[in-house]
């Protein structure tokens, strides 16, 4: 399964609802991830541009994208960013492939 980092910023209304009735975000979203064939590795509240950050696993980009679209359509977030991640081994393989790609910079 592939890894993804998701970052989301809540709307003011969403924060108000969560303050009024706090729920564990992992427990609340786990069934949604599982319906899409995914799982949650870890999740964190954050300060700054995004309010929550999580590392997720999904079987493919379509499943990860489906979660992102569903979360956006739900109205609780004002911004969402999904970033595909590579393991260190995948990154090493990427660099090995890049070294043999034969790419030449323009003018080079």
The two three-digit tokens of residue 95, written as one number: 């660099």
pLDDT at 18: 93
In this model, does residue 108 exceed pLDDT 80?
no
pLDDT at 104: 87
All structural domains of the chain, each given as residue ranges with its CATH number in brackets, are 2-99 (3.30.70.920)
pLDDT at 42: 96
pLDDT at 94: 95
Nearest Cα residue to 11 out of 53, 82, 74: 74
Cα distances (angstroms) measured from residue 69 to each of 46, 47, 72, 98: 21, 23, 5, 32
pLDDT at 23: 92
Which tens digit of pLDDT belongs to each residue from 29-82? 999 999 999 999 999 999 999 999 999 999 999 999 999 999 999 999 999 999
Mean pLDDT, rounded, of the chain: 95
pTM for the model: 0.87
User: What confidence tier does 107 reach under pLDDT thresholds 50, 70, 90?
Assistant: confident
């Amino acid at each position: 399964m592939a890894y993804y980092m998701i970052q989301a910023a809540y709307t003011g209304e969403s924060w108000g609802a969560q303050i009024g009735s706090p729920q564990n975000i992992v427990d609340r979203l786990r069934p949604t991830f599982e319906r899409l064939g995914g799982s949650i590795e870890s999740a964190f509240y954050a300060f700054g541009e995004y309010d929550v950050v999580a590392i997720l696993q999904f079987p493919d980009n379509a499943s990860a994208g489906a979660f992102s679209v569903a979360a956006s359509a739900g109205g609780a977030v004002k911004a969402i960013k999904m970033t595909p991640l590579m393991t260190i081994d995948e990154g090493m393989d990427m660099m090995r492939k890049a070294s043999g790609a034969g790419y030449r910079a323009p003018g080079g």
